[in-house]
Amino acid sequence: MSNRTIVVALGGNAILSSDPSAQAQQEALVQTAGHLVKLIKNGDNLVITHGNGPQVGNLLLQHLAADSKKNPAFPLDSLVAMTEGSIGFWLQQALQNALHKEGIDKPVASVVTQVVVDKNDPAFVNLSKPIGPFYSEEEAKAEAERTGATFKEDSGRGWRKVVASPKPVAIKELETIQTLIDAGQVVVAAGGGGIPVVENEDGSLRGVEAVIDKDFASQKLAVDIKADYFIVLTGVDNVYVNYNKPDQAKLEKVTVAELEEYIKQDQFAPGSMLPKVEATINFVKQFPEGKAVISSLENIQEVLTNEGGTVIEA
């Protein structure tokens, strides 16, 4: 039996496929929990993080559709908190049921996590993270005038609201998360990248209109708790170079220097694989004793037993 601490960052496909209903997402997480229980059976301390991009976009739509004086739409930090709570509940319950089925008595807790960002982060000026629905150019202009929001054209598909995506600086509930890990509990934390907050001059906190990249928040958490393994789960078993081309090549063991060279060659898609690669590079640079892996949920057994997936080493 091992006693490693493992941070697993779940990709969006572990929660949401094509059906955005609550029932479908809960069913997807039952499958996800079945795979994650393998880590717990192995004797590992497990901390799970997850994305919330589609969910927070859908919730924003629901709030905008019902927005009125009597029923005002909530700001983005509150919507991130709401999806962190709902996904945390689904995941917590799925894991509790999966552990019960295996006859394992282990508590599971979700921590509503505030993540501190720098109020002077350039991301607050260069808004880049698209969320919510697509608009025509006319609709986007009207919406921008009405709400003061910023809209950008998104890859020829229409105009979308863009928000800041600042880098995580500190995890406010770190001590709570560490206490739960030390007590042998399974922890769900930093969901959706955490709720973005900034520190005021007097040390108090306030939420901000932003979305933090979940891979970077997960990496920050993994470094802070000195995780032995940082596993980033995505839709493929390995990272590839020349992806979908005749000379496509699978990466198995790879160094930081090699990955940085591939980044210069634009090998990884900015919205999908690139942040995962960057987060794993940051992890092993900041905590060389740890090991980072990018793979799929279905490949988790292979990752644990035979070092499957793409293993990133300092």
Q: Select which of 45, 52, 161, 214 is catalytic.
A: 214
- pLDDT tens for each residue of 87-112: 999 999 999 999 999 999 999 999 99
Residues 6+ apart with CB under 8 A from 14: 28, 29, 32, 50, 233, 297
Q: Select which of 13, 42, 58, 97 is catalytic.
A: 13
58 is catalytic: no
119 is catalytic: no
Q: Is the pLDDT of residue 86 over 70?
A: yes
Q: Which two tokens stand for residue 93?
A: 């319950």
Beta bridge partner(s), residue 7: 47, 230
- pLDDT tens for each residue of 148-170: 889 998 777 889 888 899 999 99
pTM of the model: 0.92
Instruction: Calculate the average pLDDT of the chain.
Output: 93
13 is catalytic: yes
Q: Select which of 45, 51, 88, 129 is catalytic.
A: 129
Beta strands in 64-204, from DSSP E residues, in sequence order: 108-110, 114-117, 129-135, 150-153, 159-163, 168-171, 186-188, 195-199
- pLDDT tens for each residue of 213-262: 999 999 999 999 999 999 999 989 999 999 989 999 999 999 999 999 99
Give the separation between CA 210 and CA 161, rounded to whole angstroms: 11
Q: Which of 86, 167, 154, 159 is nearest to 122 (CA)?
A: 167
Predicted local confidence at residue 131, as pLDDT? 79
Residues 6+ apart with CB under 8 A from 275: 213, 215, 216
Beta bridge partner(s), residue 197: 116, 207
The number of beta carbons lying within 10 Å of the beta carbon of residue 240 is 17
Q: Domains, the chain, ranges and CATH? A: 5-114+170-312 (3.40.1160.10)
